[in-house]
Chain A
Amino acid sequence: MTNVFLAVRLKSPDPEAATALCTLQRVLPTCAPEELWRYDFWEFSMKSGNSGCVEEMIGHFTDIVNPNKHFRFILSKGQHPSGESQSLSWAGVLVRDHRDSRSDNWSVVLARRGFPVEKVRWGVLWRFGFAEGTQDPVGLAMKAALSETRELGLLANPVSQEALPWN
């Protein structure tokens, strides 16, 4: 089995990322980044030797990528999407539900359409752009992401979601 990762972001400014950034700057200023980008993140577990058909597969479904409004990046594990400012230190956090019906249903839909997909997992990749020279950007990003209390963290509820560094 081969895993293919797809990150999708809006071409226009993302209001969800803007709200998350403003909230972090207000409630957790020590961990708030200069920039925060949000990507829909898809992990396709493909039957061996079929990773090349991802391009064709996503071309069929504008629910996954709508070329009129989305940029899309096919990534290898830990790879960053391109287009981020080079003057910032970037750290990524991948937030996924332990179980979600969107992933379950896309797994069924893609297999039913004849694509060689074993499993789909959907999540959100948050990319934190900290000022250059910031110490431990990954640690700061994880602290900002994981909501242990209402004062600490924002982006993942640890009871039903996992937050993993993506670097």
Chain B
Amino acid sequence: MKPLVAVVRFPGSNCEQETALALESCGIRGRVYNWNDVGSAAGQGCSGWVLPGGFSFQDRVRAGAVAARERIMDIVFGDALKGKPVLGICNGAQILVESGLVPGWTPGCIEASLAGNLAPGRTGYLSRWVFLRADSSGVERCPWLSCLGGETVPVPIAHAEGRFVFRDSDLDRAESLAVLKYVSPDGTPADCWPDNPNGSALAAAGVMNPRGNVLAMMPHPERALNLFHVPPNLPGPWGHLRRKLGTDPGPGPGAAFFKGLARYLEVQR
């Protein structure tokens, strides 16, 4: 029997079907649960959780703030503390940060923020492709990053509030948890816009908890699942592959995130 991973649909989520499809494509049963279907979600005994992208509760008050206080998050919180893998994508990442699961030095305490984008002369929503690289600590410790190696991968972002912020006093210890970073197309670290698209501290695109089982990432890997999702004009090897193979249905750069989880769950069984 394939392992089951729950995808939580909050009012306003809009990426749950693609996310479940991405899990299925890697040999995992991805099942979508409504946020208020707490009993079913808890009773199925899922092996992990994904909080998908979208606009939970219309981003009212602050993106992710209201969803983080829903009852289903009590279950996600408990499973995360038991070591089950949890991934938050975009709005899901905002929910994990507002839940105090990421960075999670003291679980439940809010120790980071995903604040409004900071970009010169721009404000509001930002939608484009960016380049990411996982550092070696993330590849070793985080199930979702284990198949990335040191490769530079292009993945799209689409958000208005995606800038990781830490207190000055936490920046040193945050460095070890900011395991997924924005880089330039040739893989050099991003120190400013446009490679770091939102002014994120430490150029962080994804931050895990100290145990490594929870990852909050702003880019959308499910939107880069297939090669034909990659824009043909993208620089780097993935763009080259796309131009060469056209609309080939082969795996895209985002598939590695879900393959990493599949491999992790296989080892756990």
Contacts and interface: CB of A to CB of B under 8 A. Distances in A.
A159 B112 contact: yes
Interface string A147-160: 11111001101111
Interface size bracket, A side:
20 to 34
B14 to A, nearest CB: 18
Contacts, number: 82
A160 B62 CA distance: 12
A20 B60 contact: yes
A101 B122 contact: yes
Contacts of B57: 19
B127 interface: no
Q: How large is the interface on B (under 10, 10 to 19, 20 to 34, 35 or more residues)?
A: 20 to 34
Interface stretch (B42-50, B65-73, B136-144): B65-73
Interface stretch (B21-29, B32-40, B103-111, B224-232): B103-111
Nearest to A147: B110
Interface stretch (B113-121, B175-183, B211-219, B244-252): B113-121
B222 interface: no
- Max chain A CB contacts within 10 Å: which of B61, B117, B123, B166? B61
Nearest to A155: B61
A159 B167 contact: yes
Contact of A160 (B73, B100, B113, B121): B113
Interface of A: 15-16, 19-20, 23, 26-27, 97, 99-102, 105, 108, 147-151, 154-155, 157-161
16 contacts: A15-B58, A19-B60, A23-B61, A100-B116, A102-B123, A148-B109, A150-B69, A150-B98, A150-B108, A155-B62, A157-B62, A157-B110, A158-B110, A159-B110, A160-B113, A161-B115
